[in-house]
């Protein structure tokens, strides 16, 4: 379905500014529908004797007159006289209309929408007396307020222009409404608003008093009266009660200037929502602290292993401990990153970059200079994937250096390429080293590093891995070339990702 902006641009000759005025009206009119307990429709003239319905809203406080959506359709000829009269006179016109499926006549109030002195559309309130609510103090008060906003629409004062509060996050009329007079004193408080005041410990009769006299924070009211603009504010009235309020001033022209002669303050008790937010933040902080402590413990273990290594004389034992230290530091790196991240997901590239530096520091030597680089972005991954994947990547980088480059042969390059789709993460490690035999089979490899890789990829990650000689085109794609008789190696890893 087309939006109101699209319908107006495609089917009318209204200017950009006039269209924006109608879009702003529609963004606000949910409150108006709730106040008048009826359906609101917006009609714009498209050509002589033709009107197009460009928007429709149903009240959350009353029964709808229309089950169907009439947006994008032409007004019936029976409605034309009321619409034309409202447009011609720039005044509110009342009349009766026929609605299919309802025996008795229904009511229409045609309210001209004025922008810079010109009627650019007509907003109608359409309702049936049979489907309407029984009149009481709440209904009478709300209808009176609706009429005052309707007068503002005719005067071109509503919707508000310039810097206005975002109505999409604001409370609705049904959440609770307080009607204020020109002196910001309470004229009426709805039952839900009264209940919210009671939860704040205010049991006195609110009528005739200001919010400040009741002990309620009233900064939104003062700002709305001063600026003649709606103001949204959330505040903690007490340690246990949080309120989200939106104060909408009722504006009139007096001696050529805009004056707030009253206001409607909508309020919603969001205490439970904020309590849950604080609980989530608290749990998130606790999880990050756990990651931080795990990282510290792993670093302690790593330091103890290095101390033990210094007392060893066997080169094989020292090499084994050095490999273990690298694996532990890799896992510690993941926990360190998670300790700074909200939630349990982490940008994988933020793990890969320090991981490459870690491997470069531990494996590189003057006789074997190896340059590491990364291409692409692996997206955000959960910790359950990042931890084993980081260990796998460390083993693959170490394997690439140990088996691709020899001491004194001038070193080379290792490139990690990352690519992520909705279903799968692709990690490719490419080097320009001496390569592997064409008949190499990863399943037959007996080394500890590749055994760890196979186990983690197939069990922890439920993925697949392939290791083979590199082709010239694959090297060129990542900015490498074949050096001497070296063919290079490609290790391709695929990890399935769970869809949200």
Give the CATH number, domain containing residue 383: 3.30.565.10
Query: Dihedral of CA 13/18/24/28: which sign?
Result: negative
Question: pLDDT tens digits, residue range 175-209?
Answer: 999 999 999 999 999 999 999 888 888 888 889 99
Number of domains in the chain: 4
Asked if residue 214 and residue 183 are part of one domain, the reply reads yes
Phi, psi (rounded to 5 degrees) for 329:
-65, -30
Asked if residue 428 and residue 372 are part of one domain, the reply reads yes
Domain end call among 226, 253, 269: 269
Asked if residue 351 and residue 294 are part of one domain, the reply reads no
Domain end call among 323, 343, 363: 343
Which of 64, 41, 26 has the alpha carbon at shortest distance from 158? Answer: 26
Which of 213, 237, 29, 221 has the alpha carbon at shortest distance from 125? Answer: 29
Q: What is the pTM of this model?
A: 0.62
Residue 205, domain CATH: 3.30.450.20
Q: Report d(CA 172, CA 305) in Å as an integer.
A: 63
Asked if residue 130 and residue 15 are part of one domain, the reply reads yes
* Domain, as residue range, for 188: 167-269
Contact 120, 22 (CB under 8 A): yes
Interaxial angle between packed helices 16-36 and 137-155, expressed in degrees from 0 to 180 and rounded to the nearest 10: 170
Average pLDDT, integer, range 304-312: 87
Q: What share of the chain is helix, strand, coil (3-state, %, to 5)?
A: 40, 25, 30
Establish if 189 belongs to a structural domain. yes
Asked if residue 365 and residue 490 are part of one domain, the reply reads yes
Asked if residue 447 and residue 426 are part of one domain, the reply reads yes
Predicted local confidence at residue 290, as pLDDT: 79
Domain end call among 269, 304, 325: 269
**In terms of DSSP bridges, do strands 412-420 and 370-376 run parallel, antiparallel, or are they unpaired?**
parallel
Predicted local confidence at residue 73, as pLDDT: 92
Asked if residue 487 and residue 461 are part of one domain, the reply reads yes
Predicted local confidence at residue 130, as pLDDT: 72
* Comparison of pLDDT for 1 and 265, the residue scoring more: 265
Establish if 38 belongs to a structural domain. yes
Task: Tell the burial category of 491 from Cβ atoms under 10 Å away from its Cβ (0-12, 13-18, 19+).
Answer: buried
Query: 452 falls in which pLDDT band (50, 70, 90)?
Result: confident
Establish if 213 belongs to a structural domain. yes
Establish if 162 belongs to a structural domain. no
Asked if residue 296 and residue 262 are part of one domain, the reply reads no
Establish if 244 belongs to a structural domain. yes
Query: 166 falls in which pLDDT band (50, 70, 90)?
Result: low
Asked if residue 104 and residue 215 are part of one domain, the reply reads no
Query: 56 falls in which pLDDT band (50, 70, 90)?
Result: very high
pLDDT of residue 500 exceeding 50, the answer is: no
Question: pLDDT tens digits, residue range 364-418?
Answer: 777 778 888 999 888 888 888 888 888 888 888 888 888 888 777 777 888 999 9
Asked if residue 150 and residue 35 are part of one domain, the reply reads yes
Interaxial angle between packed helices 349-363 and 315-338, expressed in degrees from 0 to 180 and rounded to the nearest 10: 160
Asked if residue 223 and residue 75 are part of one domain, the reply reads no
Asked if residue 197 and residue 59 are part of one domain, the reply reads no
Structure tokens at 334: 């993941």
Average pLDDT, integer, range 348-375: 84
Q: Which of 43-52, 142-151, 316-325, 338-347 is predicted with the least confidence, judged by mean pLDDT?
A: 338-347
């Amino acid at each position: 379905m087309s939006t109101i902006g699209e319908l107006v641009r495609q089917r009318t000759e209204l200017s950009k500014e006039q269209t924006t005025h109608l879009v702003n009206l529609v963004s606000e009119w949910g409150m108006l529908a709730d106040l008048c307990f009826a359906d609101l429709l917006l009609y714009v003239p498209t050509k002589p004797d033709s009107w197009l319905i460009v928007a429709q809203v149903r009240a959350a406080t009353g029964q709808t007159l229309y089950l169907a959506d009439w947006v994008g359709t032409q007004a019936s000829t029976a409605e034309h006289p009321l619409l034309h009269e409202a447009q011609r006179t720039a005044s509110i016109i009342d009349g009766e209309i026929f609605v299919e499926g309802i025996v008795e006549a229904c009511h229409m109030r045609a309210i001209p929408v004025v922008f810079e002195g010109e009627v650019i559309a007509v907003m109608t309130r359409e309702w049936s007396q049979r489907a309407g609510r029984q009149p009481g103090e709440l209904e009478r008060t709300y209808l009176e307020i609706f009429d005052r906003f309707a007068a503002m629409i005719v005067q071109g004062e509503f919707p508000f222009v310039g810097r206005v509060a975002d109505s999409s996050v604001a409370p609705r009329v049904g959440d609770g409404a307080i009607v204020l007079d020109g002196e910001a004193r309470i004229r009426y408080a709805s039952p839900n608003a009264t209940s919210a005041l009671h939860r704040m410990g205010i049991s006195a009769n609110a009528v005739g008093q200001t919010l400040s006299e009741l002990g309620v924070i009233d900064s939104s009211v003062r700002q709305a009266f001063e600026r003649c603009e709606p103001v949204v504010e959330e505040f903690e009235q007490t340690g246990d009660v949080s309120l989200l309020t939106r104060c909408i001033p009722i504006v009139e022209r007096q001696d050529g200037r805009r004056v707030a002669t009253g206001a409607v303050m909508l309020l919603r008790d969001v205490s439970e929502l904020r309590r849950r937010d604080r609980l989530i933040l608290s749990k998130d902080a606790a999880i990050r602290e756990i990651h931080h402590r795990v990282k510290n413990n792993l670093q302690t273990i790593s330091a103890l292993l290095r101390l033990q290594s210094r007392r060893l004389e066997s080169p094989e034992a020292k090499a084994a401990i050095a490999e273990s230290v690298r694996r532990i530091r890799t896992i510690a790196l993941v926990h360190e990153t998670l300790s700074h991240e909200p939630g349990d997901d982490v940008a994988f590239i933020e793990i890969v970059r320090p991981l490459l530096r870690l491997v470069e520091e531990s494996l590189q030597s003057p006789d074997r200079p190896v340059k590491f680089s990364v291409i692409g972005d692996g997206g955000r991954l959960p910790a359950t994937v990042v931890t084993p994947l980081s260990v796998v990547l460390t083993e693959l980088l170490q394997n690439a250096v140990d088996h691709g480059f020899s001491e004194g042969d001038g070193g080379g390059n290792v490139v990690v390429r990352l690519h992520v789709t909705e279903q799968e993460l692709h990690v490719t490690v490419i080097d320009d080293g001496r390569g592997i035999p064409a008949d190499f089979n990863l399943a037959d490899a007996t080394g500890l590093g590749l055994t760890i890789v196979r186990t983690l990829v197939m069990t922890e990650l439920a993925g697949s891995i392939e290791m083979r000689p590199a082709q010239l085109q694959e090297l060129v794609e990542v900015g490498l070339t074949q050096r001497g008789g070296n063919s290079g190696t490609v290790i391709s890893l695929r990890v399935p990702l769970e869809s949200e």
